[in-house]
Amino acid sequence: MQATLRSIRTGKSSDVRFSSTEKIEPVPMISKKMEFSYKDGEDYVFTDPENYETVTLSNELVGDARNYLVENGGVTVTFVEDKAVTVEIPASVILTVTNARKASAAIPPTTCRNPSRWKPGYRTGAAVHQDRRKDPH
């Protein structure tokens, strides 16, 4: 059997072959439902709604999920040995349009190719249901 393993400490991946008789010890992981609280410089702060403990995660760990974070929005953070290793966001979120080109007679709304801009968490402007699986932003 062949597998690609990723080190939680370093983030490096490597391909490893195992014989069918080798036993693999599973790594204990804990997944917690948390809420996105706020951005602190380059980092993101999440709160456990049960005990109000916070965890600050780096921009690198949050990755592309940052494009879909909504204030007080739910996420799932997975921990290994008390260290956050992944952030999962819901399949869809509600985002708000903050900038969009107005349609004109020459460019009707259905053919406008200028991408609209949206910002998570704000209540001004039109709300848009965004399925992140269909639009990788």
Q: Domain 29-88 has what CATH class? A: mainly beta
Domain locations in the chain as residue ranges: 29-88, 92-131
Quote the pLDDT of residue 121: 46
Q: Hunting for tokens 């965890």 — which residue is that?
A: 55
Stretch 112-133: mean pLDDT: 51
Q: Which residues contact 30 (CB under 8 A, 6 or more apart)?
A: 78, 79, 80
Spatial contact of 88 and 72, defined as CB atoms under 8 Å apart: no
* Per-residue pLDDT at 134 exceeds 50: yes
Q: What size, in residues, is the chain?
A: 137
| Neighbouring C-beta atoms of residue 59, cutoff 10 Å | 12
pTM for this predicted structure: 0.64
Quote the pLDDT of residue 105: 54
Write phi, then psi, for 68 (nearest 5 degrees).
Answer: -125, 10
Which residues on adjacent β-strands are paired with residue 96? Answer: 119, 127
